[in-house]
Chain A
Amino acid sequence: MISPIAGHERSPHTGLLINGGFFAACLVLGVVIVGLQHHLDRHIDRSVAQIEQLAQLPHGDYLKPALLGYHHLGADVLWLKLVQVIGKRHNTMEDYEWMAHALDVITTLDPHYAYAYYAGGVILGDLANRPDLANRLLIRGHEENPTVWNIPFLLGYNYYFLLADPDRGAYYTMRAAALPGRPAYLPGLATRMAAEAGKPETALAFLDARLKETTDPEMKKFFETRMKEVMIERDIRLLERAIDQYRVRYGRRPPSLATLVEAQVLSALPLEPFGGEYRYDAMTGAVTSSTHPERLKTFHKRNRAPAYLYPKVEQPSYMFPLRW
Chain B
Amino acid sequence: MKILSIAFNTFRENLRDKLLYNLLIFALLMIGSSIIISKLTLGDFDRLMIDIGLASVNLFGVLIAIFIGIGLVSKEIDKKTIYTIVSKPVARYQFLLGKYLGLLVTLLINTTIMTGGLLVVLWARNVTVEGLLFQAVGMIFVEFMVMTAVAMLFSTFTSTTLSAIFTLAIYVIGHLTPDLKTFGEKMDELGRLVMNGLYYTLPNLERFNLKGHVIHHQAISGTDLVLIACYGLAYTAMLLFLAALIFERRDFR
Contacts and interface: CB of A to CB of B under 8 A. Distances in A.
Contacts of B211: 69-70, 72-73
Contact of B43 (A71, A72, A112, A115): A115
B137 to A, nearest CB: 15
A71 to B, nearest CB: 8
Interface in B37-70: 37, 40-44, 47-48, 51-52, 55, 58-59
A84 interface: yes
Size bracket of the B interface = 20 to 34
B180 to A, nearest CB: 11
Given A65-B179, A110-B212, A76 B41 contact: yes
B67 to A, nearest CB: 17
A83 B212 contact: no
A4 B225 CA distance: 68
Nearest to B206: A69
A76 B47 contact: yes
B40 A80 contact: yes
Size bracket of the A interface = 20 to 34
Contacts of B55: 70, 72-73
Nearest to A67: B175
Contacts of B23: none
Please classify the interface of chain A as helix (H, G, I), strand (E, B), loop, or mixed, using the class held by over half of its residues: helix
Please classify the interface of chain B as helix (H, G, I), strand (E, B), loop, or mixed, using the class held by over half of its residues: helix
B212 A76 contact: no
A196 to B, nearest CB: 33
Interface in B46-103: 47-48, 51-52, 55, 58-59
A69 B216 contact: no
B207 to A, nearest CB: 10
B194 interface: no
B51 A72 contact: yes
Contact of B44 (A68, A84, A115): A115
A9 to B, nearest CB: 36
Nearest to B211: A72
Contacts of B41: 76, 79-80, 83
Nearest to B55: A73
A119 interface: yes
A69 B212 CA distance: 9
B51 A119 contact: no
18 contacts: A68-B171, A68-B172, A68-B175, A69-B209, A70-B59, A71-B212, A72-B51, A72-B212, A73-B211, A76-B41, A76-B47, A76-B48, A80-B40, A83-B40, A83-B42, A113-B44, A115-B44, A323-B43
Given A76-B51, A86-B42, 5 more contacts: A65-B175, A65-B176, A79-B42, A83-B41, A112-B212
Interface of A: 65, 68-73, 76, 79-80, 83-84, 86, 110, 112-113, 115, 119, 322-323
